[in-house]
């Protein structure tokens, strides 16, 4: 069977000869999705999820406790019971993230700091950011510090680093994430197409990105952070801090007290930000090129739908 020459480039012309049936089918599916008639995922009731996860569910009540307001609309938990049971086995918590504070401001690091820093000091709970100025001046820059917010909605977040993810560079960590998704999170559970596609994109670019890391680390950092898989499964700076703060505030336990997770955010100099070491001084962080490895640095698996 010879090789059809057009297979060399047809992926770049996906719409060139799309049949009208394909177009119609795509149109109908899109319409159905817009009308909420897409494939139904058997999701779990909130009450049932609370029973299952206990203190590892950080929901509207916890938001009220930490941030001082109850969100008007609570989205449905988008995961099935089976997925939450699996998440529990994997040591994950379920967090509801909001992007606005009670008074409608962006839930930025600046806003979170304004809400928590003084209260924690007063309640002798220790520091929130170590230090707020350091985060603003050396990592995010003033604009992002005041404007960038967590992506809203429910997320399953690892309370600890993925086993075997320490002493790995950013790309190797991403491989560990993919393995965890395949062998744990979605073992015997159908993986959503979004994840399949993200993994395909990663696999297709892996060799090139490995090379790029040694040739141009800034570009590699940018591309790695933008990979769909890392957008889907890693926390941003704001999300990590939001999650750590809420869990500590409501449960009194500091996660990642002596280790760091590598986020999908980049600092102002283009390096990838890792954060953790959440002790009484507050959440600490570093900005590193993607090729570095460190024994205390791994990644917490965080996934959204």
Partner 1 sequence: MSPEKMPHIPEVKTTPERVLEEAGGEAKVAKKEKLAPEELETRVTELADLSAARAEVSKHVRETWGGLTKQEREDLKAKGDEAVIAHFDSLKVDPELREFTESTLAETDARIQELASNPDVLKAYKERFETLKETLASVLTFEHLQKELRATESREQKLRTLYEQFGRSPGPIERKKLEELANRITETRKELQGFELDEAAVDMLRRREIRGMQRDLAQYNFAETETRTELIREVLPDLLQGAPVLFQGETGSGKTQLAKYLSQKYLDKEPAIISVSEQIKESQILGARGLEAGETIFKYSEFVKAQKEGRPVILDEVNLMPHEFAGILHDFLQKRVGDVWTHPVTGEKIPITAPIMATANLKSERYKQRYELDVATLRRFIGGAGAREIHYLDLGKKDKGGGYIAPETLKILGAVLADRHGNIEWSEAEAPQKADELRRFVAASRKIQEDFTLSIREGSEESLARTDRLAFRELVITLKDQIEIMKAWKSGGFKEPLQQIILREFFHKAEISGRAAKDRENMVRVFIANKFFANTKPEDFKIQGLAAQSLRQWQGKE
> For binding to partner 1 (CB under 8 A), which residues are involved?
1-10, 12-13, 17-21, 23, 201, 205, 208, 211, 215-216, 219, 222-223, 226-227
Q: How far is the CB of 31 from partner 1 (least distance, A)?
A: 17
Q: How far is the CB of 63 from partner 1 (least distance, A)?
A: 34
CB 210 within 8 A of CB 171: yes
The residue (of 147 and 175) whose beta carbon lies closer to partner 1 is 175
CB 136 within 8 A of CB 142: yes
The residue (of 221 and 245) whose beta carbon lies closer to partner 1 is 221
CA angle 104, 108, 113 (to 5 degrees): 100
Q: How far is the CB of 5 from partner 1 (least distance, A)?
A: 4
CA atoms of 109 and 31, how far apart (whole Å): 38
The residue (of 130 and 230) whose beta carbon lies closer to partner 1 is 230
DSSP bridge partners of 83: none
> At a CB cut-off of 8 Å and minimum separation 6, what does 262 contact?
170, 173, 234, 272, 273, 274, 288, 297, 298, 299
Rg of the chain over all Cα atoms, to the nearest angstrom: 21
The residue (of 41 and 200) whose beta carbon lies closer to partner 1 is 200
CA atoms of 130 and 126, how far apart (whole Å): 10
The residue (of 45 and 203) whose beta carbon lies closer to partner 1 is 203
Three-state SS for 210?
Answer: helix
Q: How far is the CB of 112 from partner 1 (least distance, A)?
A: 31
Cα 273 to Cα 43, 120, 299: the distances in Å are: 33, 25, 11
The residue (of 13 and 61) whose beta carbon lies closer to partner 1 is 13
Q: How far is the CB of 260 from partner 1 (least distance, A)?
A: 26
Q: How far is the CB of 174 from partner 1 (least distance, A)?
A: 13
HSE at residue 69, side-chain half, CA atoms within 13 A, is: 14
Q: How far is the CB of 48 from partner 1 (least distance, A)?
A: 38
The residue (of 5 and 35) whose beta carbon lies closer to partner 1 is 5
């Amino acid at each position: 069977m010879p090789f059809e020459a057009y297979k060399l480039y047809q992926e770049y012309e996906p719409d060139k000869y799309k049949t009208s049936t394909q177009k119609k089918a795509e149109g109908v599916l899109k319409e159905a999705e817009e009308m909420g008639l897409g494939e139904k995922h058997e999701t779990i009731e909130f009450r049932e999820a609370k029973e299952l996860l206990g203190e590892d569910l950080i929901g509207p009540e916890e938001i009220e406790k930490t941030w001082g307001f109850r969100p008007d609309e609570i989205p449905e938990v988008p995961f099935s019971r089976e997925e939450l049971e699996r998440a529990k086995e994997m040591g994950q918590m379920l967090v509801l993230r909001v992007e606005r504070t009670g008074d409608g401001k962006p839930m930025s690091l600046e806003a979170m700091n304004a809400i928590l820093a003084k209260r924690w000091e007063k309640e002798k709970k220790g520091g929130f950011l170590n230090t707020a100025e350091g985060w603003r001046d050396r990592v995010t820059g003033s604009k992002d510090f005041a404007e960038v917010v967590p992506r809203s909605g429910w997320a399953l977040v690892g309370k600890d680093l993925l086993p075997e993810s320490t002493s790995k560079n950013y790309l190797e960590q991403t491989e560990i994430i993919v393995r965890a998704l395949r062998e744990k999170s979605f073992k015997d559970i159908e993986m959503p197409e979004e994840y399949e596609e993200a993994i395909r994109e990663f696999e297709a670019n892996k060799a090139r990105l490995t090379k790029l890391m040694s040739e141009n680390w800034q570009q590699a950092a940018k591309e790695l952070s933008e990979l769909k898989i890392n957008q889907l499964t890693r926390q941003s700076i704001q999300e990590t801090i939001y999650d750590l703060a809420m869990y500590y505030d409501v449960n009194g336990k500091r996660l990642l007290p002596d280790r760091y997770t590598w986020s999908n955010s980049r600092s102002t100099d283009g390096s990838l930000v890792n954060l953790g070491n959440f002790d009484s001084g507050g959440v600490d962080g570093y900005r590193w090129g993607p090729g570095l490895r460190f024994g205390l640095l791994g990644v917490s698996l965080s996934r959204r739908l």
